[in-house]
Amino acid sequence: MSINKLQYSMLFFMLFCSNVITAEQILTEDKKTFCRYINASNVIYKSNQEKITYKVPIYPGKGRDITYEELESQSTSPPNHYLLNNICYNTKQGKELELLNDILKFYQKQMNADLDIKKPTAIVTEDNEYILFFDFSFQKNPAYLTFTLTNSNSAYYSAGRLDPKRLKFKKGPSVIYLGISLESESDYKICLRDKSCEI
């Protein structure tokens, strides 16, 4: 039984599409920098704790929706390692603050979150890096974002407010690390509320 040209073309097309889907790369990890690059609009995350499903947006919102299990299937991290941390965004010198603002505005809209660059929950220094914490509510549960600024060398934070104009960066390209934490408050919000720490 011979295969006509139409059948052959359809068979070739199906094989081609199958290869494209199989080869899709939704997660890239850099072992040296611990960076993760996620190619997706949203990550569908099922919570065992709250028995609900979160639709977590991924800046800049390009690509298709993926499941958290799909991320795990492509990750080289240890089992049970949380994969919505260390999401990296590279930027040129002088564009760091613009990128940070863009990411905050994106999550303010997509997660209906009260986020203001001038009002982080806390800003701390660790290993010569500045880390910004932003607490908010997402799908009626606590959540927070963290931004690690690896190339920052100066920040002015006083009385619970950050002055973006005094957020300075070193020369050269920068990387901003984003972490998305669900179903918990940041340690800094807890200790500030309980008046058990000073930042």
- Counted domains in the chain: 1
59 occurs within a structural domain: yes
181 occurs within a structural domain: yes
Question: Containing domain of residue 121, as a range?
Answer: 29-193
Number of C-alpha atoms within 13 angstroms, CB side, residue 111? 34
The model carries a pTM of: 0.82
20 occurs within a structural domain: no
Predicted pLDDT at 161: 74
Helix H, strand E, coil C: the string for the chain is: CCCCHHHHHHHHHHHHHHHHHHHCCCEEEECCCCEEEECCCEEEEECCCCCCEEEEECCCCCCCEEEHHHHHHHCCCCCCCCCCCCEEEEECCCCHHHHHHHHHHHHHHHCCCCCCCCCCCEEEEECCEEEEEEEEEECCEEEEEEEEECCEEECCEECCEECHHHCEECCCCEEEEEEEEECCCCHHHHHHHCCCCCC
125 occurs within a structural domain: yes
18 occurs within a structural domain: no
Spatial distance between the Cα atoms of 164 and 59, rounded to a whole number of angstroms: 21
Q: How far is CA 56 from CA 49, 80, 98, 135, 156, in A?
A: 16, 18, 22, 15, 31
162 occurs within a structural domain: yes
Q: pLDDT by residue for the chain (199 residues), tens digit each?
A: 445 555 545 544 444 443 333 347 999 999 999 999 999 999 999 998 878 999 999 999 999 999 999 999 999 998 889 999 999 999 998 898 899 999 999 999 999 999 998 899 988 887 778 899 999 999 999 999 999 988 776 666 655 677 777 777 778 778 999 999 999 999 999 988 887 766 5
188 occurs within a structural domain: yes
50 occurs within a structural domain: yes
